[in-house]
Structure formats: C-alpha cells, structure tokens
Amino acid sequence: MEQFDLLIIGGGPGGYSTGIAAAKAGLKVALFEKEHLGGTCLNVGCVPTKYLVDKAVTMEKVRSLVQKEIFRDAGFFSFKKIMKGKQEVVDKLVGGVKMLLKSAGATVINGEAVLEKDRTVRCGETQYQGKNVIIATGSEPVIIPIPGHELCIDSTAVLNLERLPESMVVMGGGVIGLELACAFAAYGTEVTIVEMLPELMGREQKEAVRFWQNQVKKLGISIKTGAKMLRVEADGVYRKAVYEYKGQEETVRCEQVLMAVGRKPRFDGINAEALGLGLNGRFLAVDEHQRTNLDGVYAIGDVAGGAQLAHAAYAEGEAALADILGKPYTRAKYTPACTYTLPCFASVGLNTETAKAAGYEPVMGSFNYAANGMGLAEGENGCVYVICDKKTTKTLGVTIVGANASELIAFAALAVEKELTLEDWEGQIVAHPSLAEMVREAALDAFKKAVHKG
C-alpha cells in the first residue's frame, strides 16, 4: 500500500488548489478525480456560465449603442460558435490545472475513490494510505420529483445545448437559475422564472434587489415568485410547465424546462454512516479548521456546507492545509458573493437587517452609476450601497448592482474586513475616472459627506 502525506478526494476548485499548494509545501500528495479536473466549477458551472453571460452582456451593450444610433445595427451572432468558444475556454483551464498539479509534483489518479477506515482510500483494486485525507467531493443538482421531471434539463445539460431554445421556463430563482435565465433572455429566448419563495434574493439589501429586479425585467423575463411548479407535460417537441400562482393554475408552453432548484452534497465513495463521519444536516460536520470528527480527515467545499462558492472552497482548503502543516491561518470573516446576472449583483458583509440583528445602528449610503464619470462614459446603469455603523462609523457591508460588480466587490470586501471608518474613507485616494470611486462615495454618503451627490 503506497503511503502519502495527503490524499484528496475530488479535483474541483478546493481539491485541486489544495493539492497544488500541499505539493509545493513538500507534501507527498495524491488527488483522486473520477470525471474531469476542475470539478463542477470549471466544467459545468462557474466558468462556462460566465462565458455565456459575458457574450450576453456584450450583446446588450451593442443593442444600447444601436438605440443611441452610435452603432448602425446589432448584427448577428452564432450560438454554436458561442458554445464552441465556451468549451475551448473550459478545455484550456482544465489543461492548465492538470499542468499545475503535475509541475507541483502531485500525483493525479483518475477513477472513483472510496474512503475506508484509517485514512485508507481504495481506487479500483489499489489501496492508498494517507497521513491525512481531505474530502472535496463537491455537489450535484437537486432534482425535484414532480410529475414530468424527466422532461426537464439541469444546469449541466443546458450548457451543452446545440441550439438556442426559442422559449424556456426556469424552475428556481437562485443563483444558477437567475444567471442562466438572464443569459438566454439576452440571446433572445423567451424566459419565465418560477420561484417558490415570495421574493428573489431575499437575504440581500432590499433597495439593491428592487433596483436589480427593475433592470432584469428590461430583458423581457417574466418572473413568478411565490409560485409552485406542479408538473411538466410533453406537447410534441415542446413542454407544458404547469404551476400554481396566486391560487390559480397557470401553464406556459415552452421548448425547454430548466430545473435549477439548488445543489446537494455529493457523497460518491463516502459512506458517512459506515465510517462514523459526523454530519451537520445534509453536510459533513467540520470545525473552523475543516476537521471532521475523524482524526486526520478534513472536508472542504460544497460537501462541508457553508457558502457553495469556489472561492469559499479555496479558503477552506487553505485552512485545512495550514492545520496539516501546523501553521497559523486567519480566514476572512466575510465571503463575497456574486450573482452574474444582467446586471451583476455582488455583496459582502452585512445589510441593514442583519446589521440591526447584530446590535449595530446601521446607516446606508448609496451612489448611482449615472453620477459617476466612468459609468457615464461606458453607458452603464447601476448603484452601490454601503452600510456603516452610525456610532463607530465602521464599514459593515457593501452591495453593488451593475457592471463590474464582481470586480469592485474585492475592494469592498477588504473595506468590510478591515472595518474602514469614515476617517479612513476620507483619507482614501481612488483613481479617477473609475467605477471604484463609487464605493468611496457611497461610504461617505452614509454620513452625508459625498462630494458628488446632492
């Protein structure tokens, strides 16, 4: 039985990044992946979805310039070429991950790994012994067994469509459903979102959600919140999505029904009960170092609960590796979250409701893209919201709706993590012209000190 310092089950973002870092730190590492390196994120999640969204954003930008008669026409696009380009990007990134693991000295083993007692992993007929094991098996789409669910496609299948559907019903108004709904609507698909909860993005800053939803509706998306999908029926090559909305049964005839109601932890090769692995609801239970209740066994990423985000898995892997190496590691208190819709929605830290619940007296400042030089030059529409504590003036949270929100949130996340005060913001110098200026202006506006806002 070959001995390793670290065995990693799963080659998604958390697994492969930890494997590279561990090998670079001098550990003998083996990483098991039964499908494709990069996991859901690189292959059928974050990256391919963002490729589709990016092209949709570009088309919306061109259309706005056509309306202003700056461009003569919006031109034509090839959905097949978009899908081909998406796959080329995926292949390049997956190949890059493979190269990084190899150059770091990690051993990659293709096949399904089964975790056994005493940190032993079996893959096929071979067993491997590890001083430490990291479980990073990720998650998979949830399928709701409504009548006709077999007629639906999931988030993996929708990213492999060969033809643009003329109409689509999206079952689920979470991150995955919203991102795909916006992208396909921009391409010209008639989209209806059916969400069971009474509102979209219910945990986010209310003002930001209202602004965002008004922009999303301009894409022509029909949004049905508080609606329950009852069944899906075949209608020739079409589908009939039947749902209950405001006490009435409604039907939408469409070409595709996308089921995007969330994801659940994947336990392939992990028999938690037989191994005695502790659970926290549906997920593996871990402490702040990502340790499970079994000695030397860690869990990171979607299988361990928490934020189902690739960058959260990166951080969890770093925490686990630091513990294995006996090194200190301080993880950020807040994890930024981005929904890559049209427009993009990004947030970090607290909103007014959660700030009140935490005992603060929140004050909110805001700044609109329309009052920003770069925002005007780029023809963008959006808004920045900053929450501060009235007494201490510390920055508690930031929400950004608009172009490049996913980039601006990194600057905002640091401000929240370091609890920048009004005095800090006043002394901060931000490049001009830039969209980043709006974050500072919104923070100053919380105390009525924004210069460029009346």
Return the structure tokens found at 85.
């380009």
Q: Are 398 and 416 in contact (CB under 8 A)?
A: yes
Q: Which amino acid is at 324?
A: I
Q: Which amino acid is at 411?
A: F
Confirm whether 452 is a catalytic residue: no
Q: Are 146 and 229 in contact (CB under 8 A)?
A: yes
Residue with token string 């990004």 = 346
Q: What are phi and psi of 230, to 5 degrees?
A: -100, -45
Residue with token string 């049209």 = 342
Kindly list the distances between the CA atom of residue 53 and the CA atoms of 78, 208, 319, 362, 389, in Å, as whole numbers in the listed order: 15, 20, 32, 34, 35
Kindly list the distances between the CA atom of residue 163 and the CA atoms of 84, 167, 331, in Å, as whole numbers in the listed order: 12, 12, 44
Q: Are 257 and 168 in contact (CB under 8 A)?
A: yes
**Segments in 151-267 forming alpha helices (H):** 155-158, 175-187, 206-216
CA distance 393 to 374: 28
Containing 412, the helix (H) or strand (E) segment is helix 405-417
Q: What is the DSSP secondary-structure string of 237-249?
A: TEEEEEEEETTEE
Selecting among 36, 289, 311, 432, the annotated active-site residue is 432
Return the structure tokens found at 337.
């979250």
Residue with token string 């930024």 = 336
Q: How far is CA 38 from the centre of its chain?
A: 15
Q: Are 9 and 270 in contact (CB under 8 A)?
A: yes
Q: Are 319 and 326 in contact (CB under 8 A)?
A: no
Between the two ends of the chain, the Cα-to-Cα distance in Å is: 72
CA distance 319 to 330: 8
Q: How far is CA 231 from the centre of its chain?
A: 28
CA distance 29 to 17: 12
Q: Are 19 and 28 in contact (CB under 8 A)?
A: no
Residues with a known catalytic role? 432
